[in-house]
Chains A and B, each alone.
Chain A
Amino acid sequence: DGGITQSPKYLFRKEGQNVTLSCEQNLNHDAMYWYRQDPGQGLRLIYYSQIVNDFQKGDIAEGYSVSREKKESFPLTVTSAQKNPTAFYLCASSTQGSLAYEQYFGPGTRLTVT
């Protein structure tokens, strides 16, 4: 059963702590993305990766870091430098090499920082 998994579904952390969100895909997609969704806002791109060992900043990368050591995995770390980390985080993937592509999304992780 192919798809994208994100874990955990809910995550609670104290302010000042770094936290890593997991994203795994078995769709054999080259490109992977992290978005943040806040109430009343559209999805905002944090980071994306088009190939293993390479990634680019999106619109709101400050306070976040990523790695892409394997094709299947694209973890996101929310650092203590992120001023408003509480949000719904979505991971997505897509095929590479096509101009027109759809993105496949995971179920999301809701992070609450107090």
Chain B
Amino acid sequence: SQKIEQNSEALNIQEGKTATLTCNYTNYSPAYLQWYRQDPGRGPVFLLLIRENEKEKRKERLKVTFDTTLKQSLFHITASQPADSATYLCALQNYGGSQGNLIFGKGTKLSVKP
């Protein structure tokens, strides 16, 4: 069956360290993979999109990798800050899917301690 998994429900790190979040999928052939940030009680906010033929994408302190052989995306936040504390969602879009078919993972709750 098709599955998208984010490695852990929660991740606690110290301020200044690099946070690494994992998104694994099975039985999908994603054309694109996206990462969103969601704060409690609010809607998700788009962060980055990476295409299947891209290995890596960067935006300020954020870096995303996409390995279609391992069926995995890694999301890194370097020099993390308490303000980075939030839930991070990965979402993928399959080849051949209609525009409605963005499939979301359950998210990883990141806590950055001062």
Contact = CB atoms under 8 A, between A and B. Distances in A.
Interface of A: 4, 31, 33, 35, 40-45, 48, 50, 56, 58, 88, 90, 92, 94, 96, 99-108, 110
A33 B101 CA distance: 10
A42 B4 contact: yes
B90 to A, nearest CB: 9
Contacts of A43: 44, 89, 91, 104
B98 to A, nearest CB: 7
B42 A107 contact: yes
Contacts of B106: 40-42
A42 B89 contact: yes
B43 A108 contact: yes
A105 to B, nearest CB: 3
B11 to A, nearest CB: 16
Contacts of A96: 99
A103 B102 contact: yes
Contacts of B80: none
A80 B108 CA distance: 33
Interface of B: 4, 9, 31-32, 34, 41-46, 49, 51, 89, 91, 93, 98-107
A31 B99 contact: yes
29 contacts: A31-B99, A33-B100, A35-B104, A40-B9, A42-B89, A42-B104, A42-B106, A42-B107, A43-B44, A43-B91, A43-B104, A44-B104, A45-B100, A48-B100, A50-B98, A56-B98, A58-B100, A100-B32, A101-B99, A102-B34, A102-B46, A102-B49, A103-B44, A103-B102, A105-B45, A107-B43, A108-B42, A108-B43, A110-B41
A18 B78 CA distance: 47
Contacts of A103: 44, 46, 102
A33 to B, nearest CB: 6
B44 A105 contact: yes
Contact of B43 (A40, A56, A106): A106
Given A44-B104, A103-B44, 18 more contacts: A35-B104, A40-B9, A42-B4, A42-B104, A42-B105, A43-B91, A43-B104, A48-B100, A50-B100, A90-B43, A94-B99, A96-B99, A99-B31, A103-B46, A104-B46, A105-B44, A106-B43, A107-B43
